[in-house]
Structure 1
Amino acid sequence: MKFVTKMWHPNIYEDGKVCISILHPPGEDPVSGELPSERWNPTQNVRTVLLSVISLLNEPNTSSPANVDASVMYRKWKDGANTEYFDIVRSQVEVTKQEAVADGVTVPTRVEDYVAKGFPAGGRSGVHDRAEQDAFAVSNFDDDLAAYYDDDEDY
C-alpha cells in the first residue's frame, strides 16, 4: 500500500509506502519483533487493512518507524517540545487540498461527510450494490464475528 501524496508520518516511507505489520508477508521474522499473528494472513480483507491503516495514522508506532525523522519530531510534538511535526503535516494538508481542487475533487471537511448514512432511496440495485454494502459496513465499524453474534463490550 502506498500514498501517492506526500506524507510526513513515522510509519510512512518517503516514497509513500506504508509500514504496517498487517501488510508484511506471513511467517516469522525474529528481527522485526512482530508476532506471526500480526502479519498478513488469508482472513484479512480490504476493510481490516483500511481500519488498521486508519488506526496507524491516528496512533503512529514510533518504536518501529519507517521515517525516523518524522518519528522523532512526532514524539517531540506529543511531548509539547515543539510544533515542527504539526507544521509540516499542516503544510502537506494544505498542498493536498489545493491539488484536490485542481483535480476537481471535493474533500470532506467533517467526519459526518465521510460516513455513509445508508442506502439511497429506491433500494439497492445495479452494479453499485456490493460497493454500497461494503461502504455501509465500513462506516458502521461493525466488527462482529457474525451477523447473529455481538462480540463487542456493552458499556
Structure 2
Amino acid sequence: MSTPSKKRLIRDFKRLSSDPPGGISGAPCADNLMIWNAVIFGPADTPFEDGTFKLVLTFDESYPNKPPTVKFLSKMFHPNVYANGELCLDILQNRWSPTYDVAAILTSIQSLLHDPNPNSPANAEAASLYRENMKEYVRRVKATVEASWMDDGEMATEDPIPEEDEEAMDESAHGSGGGAGQATSASTTPAAAAPAS
C-alpha cells in the first residue's frame, strides 16, 4: 500500500528521471523506496571536478514535511561534511521546505561543493585550510577526487525500483500529474543557491 510519502517519492523519482539536473543522479533501492542511492559529479572549475561522489538518502514517513537524512558514502574533505559523511546544509535542517524534492536536495549539495561555507564548519580542518591555505585544501580535495574513482563504497542496491512500486509509478503517471512536480520546480533554484547552515 502506498503512503503519501511513498507517492511523493515516486513523483520525485519520475521528475528526476525525466528531467535530471546536470551532474546528479539518484534512484530508490530495489527493496525499499525510502532509501535512495545517489551520485553527484564534482562541479567543473572546482577542486571537486571529475569526482564521482556516492550518497545515500534515507526518508521516513514524515517526508516531505521533514527532510531525509543524507550521507556521503564516498570519502569527502569539505568544510560542510562531517567525518561520518553527514552534511551541514541548512535546507536539510532548519530551512527545510516540503516543496524541496530529491532533485533540489542533490542540486543543493552539488552547489555546496562549488561554494563551501567555512563559517559553519562540520570539518574544522577543511574550513581552516579553505580560509588560510587554499593550496593545501585543493591538494586534500584532489586526493578525495582520486579516491572517488576507485571507490567501491557500497550502494544500498543495484536494482532501482521494486516491481510493486513500478506498478504504482505507472498508475500515478496516468493520474493527475499535479502536486509535487509543479510545486518543486520553483524550489529547485532557491535550493541550489541555499547556503550551508
**TM-score under structure 1 normalisation?**
0.52
Q: Tell me how far 1:76 sits from its aligned partner.
A: 2.2
Equivalence map 1:92-131=2 (5 Å): 92-99=144-151
Q: What corresponds to 1:75 in structure 2?
A: 131
User: What 5-or-longer segments of structure 2 have no aligned partner?
Assistant: 1-69, 155-168, 174-184, 188-197
State how far apart, in whole Å, the 1-side matches of 2:119 and 2:72 are.
Answer: 21
Deviations 1:88-126 (A, max 9, x none): 1111211221236x99xxxxxxxxxxxxxxxxxxxxxx9
Contact 2:76/2:85 (8 A) holds in 1: yes
Q: Measure, in 2, the Cα distance between the counterparts of 1:69 and 1:17.
A: 16
Secondary structure in structure 1 of the residue aligned to 2:71: coil
Residue 99 of structure 1: SS of its match in structure 2? coil
Rg larger in structure? 1
Letter in 2 for 1:66: A
| Percent of pairs with identical residues | 40
Residues 91/55 of structure 1: CA separation in 2 closer, same or farther (3 Å cut): same
CA drift at 1:144: 5.0
Q: Name the SS for the 1:2 alignment partner.
A: strand
Deviations 1:24-45 (A, max 9, x none): 15xxxxxxxxxxxxx1121111
Alignment partner for residue 46 of structure 1, among 72, 95, 102?
102
Structure 1 CA distance, aligned partners of 2:146 and 2:103? 28
Distance 2:104 2:149 in 1: 27
Matched residues, number: 92
Which is bigger in relative contact order (C-alpha 8 A, separation at least 6)? 2
Segments of structure 1 that go 5 or more residues without pairing to the other structure are 26-38, 104-125, 131-142, 146-155
C-alpha root-mean-square deviation of aligned residues, in Å? 2.7
Higher strand share: 2
Q: Of 80, 88, 102, which residue of structure 2 is paired with 1:19?
A: 88
Partner of 1:87: 139
Select the residue among 108, 121, 126 that pairs with 1:65: 121
**In the alignment, which residue of structure 1 is the partner of 2:71?**
2
| Distance in 1 between residues matched to 2:97 and 2:126, nearest whole Å | 29
Q: TM-score, normalised by structure 2?
A: 0.41
Q: Which amino acid aligns with 1:76?
A: E
Distance 2:72 2:104 in 1: 18
